[in-house]
Amino acid sequence: MQKIYILGIESSCDETAAAIVLNGREVISNIIFSSADLHKIYGGVVPEIASRKHVEVIPYVLEQTMIKAGITRDQLAAIAVTKGPGLVGSLLVGVSAAKTLALIWRKPLYGIHHLAGHIAANYLTYRELEPPFLSLIVSGAHSHIVLVKSYLEFEIIARTRDDAPGEVFDKIARELNLGYPGGPIIDSMAKYGQNNLFDLPQPKFGDNLDFSFSGIKTATLNKLNQIKQKAALINQPWEKLVNKSDFVATFQSAIINYLLDHTMKAIKLTGQNKLVLAGGVAANSELRLQFQYATKELGLKLYLPELQYCTDNAAMIAAQGFYAFKEQQPETLSLNAYAMLEMDN
């Protein structure tokens, strides 16, 4: 088989990443620099800080990626870069770097949809995985159920109408003074709690499978405020009235059950027997466990990306770039970055 090396670049949020992937499946090098620690004191990503850090570190990240891969630029077949969606200032750093290298090195350039990249992360873990299949993408900014018809053809079955799960995890963690990012912290704490402390809504839109996480977020915050008010009346810390682990376990369970319910309905609707999880929230241990239980009971094949490929990385962009290289015309140097971008673009 011909060796096709793709250089991938990812900078859609606060990770500056580059990777080289062979034939869309084998990671040769994968370098990630995260500026998450710089955002902790703000309780979330500050776009200005993120983009400035990208500018500062991307030359080093690219250099180290090439050194670790042990190949020359002449061996590269193409360059793939995240073009959106994401923070436009951050995206522009990666896109500009990719365009510069494509021009200087005379390589074809491919703009990759960030969510298509998350799906492609599973190709790195499961070399036998091929479309068609259904994918649930859950991350800090997105929640989609996608029918993957081919490597480059996607149909949106459902999406969030407001908040994304990762955003809600961060918000609840912030209100509980747990730290940032909220997802991993809540995941860890919930292991020691009971998940039946209170009831939370499961919003529905008739037969539509779209998500709405704002209702769960608001109901959780309202419950927290009620507990705090009750504690104030008896002059006690609110933590004396409720176990924090129970509180976050109940919240997390509501999010997971909601995702599970809609995904299983989408499985029934599409008739697919393969389910692929993707995105940062797919690293949540309880979510992975509950989806394993549900798919096993229904006789479905579940694909879970390695934890290192759940969060933003460039290996997934290079993997998707391989299929773009095989089937699509390259971009021109007028390629731009897009804060909002549908998956069919």
* pTM of this structure: 0.95
State the Cα–Cα distance between residues 245 and 50, nearest whole angstrom: 32
Pairing of the two strands 274-278 and 109-113: unpaired
Spatial distance between the Cα atoms of 70 and 345, rounded to a whole number of angstroms: 34
116 and 157, same domain (yes or no) = no
> Does 146 reside within a domain?
yes
Cα angle value 304/310/314 (rounded, 5°): 125
Is the predicted pLDDT of residue 112 greater than 80, yes or no? yes
- The answer to whether residue 110 is domain-embedded is yes
In a domain, 339, yes or no: no
Alpha-carbon distance values, 263 to 35, 80, 103, 271, 304 (Å):
32, 30, 43, 12, 15
Instruction: Indicate if 237 and 318 belong to the same structural domain.
Output: no
**pLDDT band at 142; cut points 50, 70, 90:** confident
How do strand 143-150 and strand 153-159 relate by DSSP bridges? antiparallel
Residue 15, in any domain of the structure: yes
pLDDT value, residue 42:
80
The percentage of the chain sitting over the pLDDT mark of 70, rounded to a whole number, equals 99
For residue 132, cis peptide bond before it (omega within 30 degrees of 0): yes
Give per-residue pLDDT as tens, 159-211: 999 988 989 999 999 999 999 889 999 999 999 999 998 888 887 777 789 99
| pLDDT at site 36 | 80
Q: What is the pLDDT of residue 110?
A: 99
Tallying the residues shown for the chain, one arrives at: 345
Statement to judge: residues 54 and 143 lie in one domain = no
More confident residue, 37 or 72: 72
Is the pLDDT assigned to residue 316 strictly greater than 90? yes
Q: Are 22 and 62 contained in the same domain? A: yes
pLDDT band (50, 70, 90) for residue 344: low
Q: Which of 74-78, 217-221, 234-238, 280-284 holds the top average pLDDT?
A: 74-78
Do both 224 and 255 map to the same domain? yes
Task: Tell me the pLDDT of the chain averaged across its residues.
Answer: 95
Residue 313 belongs to domain spanning: 5-127+309-327
In a domain, 34, yes or no: yes
pLDDT, tens only, 38-91: 888 787 888 899 999 999 999 999 999 999 999 999 999 999 999 999 999 999
Assess whether pLDDT exceeds 60 at residue 345: no
Q: Do residues 141 and 290 share a domain?
A: yes
Given this model, what pLDDT does residue 201 score?
A: 82
Same-domain pairing of 178 and 144: yes
Looking at per-residue pLDDT, the higher value among 114 and 37 belongs to 114
Contact residues for 111 (Cβ-Cβ < 8 A; gap 6+): 80, 81, 82, 83, 95, 331, 335
Main-chain dihedrals φ then ψ at residue 15, nearest 5 degrees: -105, 130
Say whether pLDDT at 299 is over 60: yes
Residue 337 lies in a domain: no
Same domain, 67 and 189: no
**pLDDT tens across 115-137, in order?**
999 999 999 999 999 999 999 99
Q: 3-state SS of 217-233? A: HHHHHHHHHHHHHHHHH
Please indicate, yes or no, if residue 194 is contained in any of the structural domains: yes
Dihedral of alpha carbons 216, 277, 328, 31, sign? positive
- Based on the domain organization, do 277 and 319 belong to the same domain? no
Check which CATH number belongs to the domain holding 240 and give it.
Answer: 3.30.420.40
Confirm if 156 and 343 have CB atoms less than 8 A apart: yes
Distance between CA atoms of residues 215 and 114, nearest Å: 27
Same domain, 210 and 144: yes
Question: Do 113 and 225 belong to one domain?
Answer: no
273 — pLDDT class (breaks 50, 70, 90): very high
Residues 6+ apart with CB under 8 A from 66: 20, 29, 73
Residue 303 is predicted with a pLDDT of 99
User: What integer pLDDT is reported at residue 140 of this predicted model?
Assistant: 79
What residue has token string 């990719």? 98
Count of domains for the chain: 2
Q: What pLDDT does residue 47 have?
A: 86
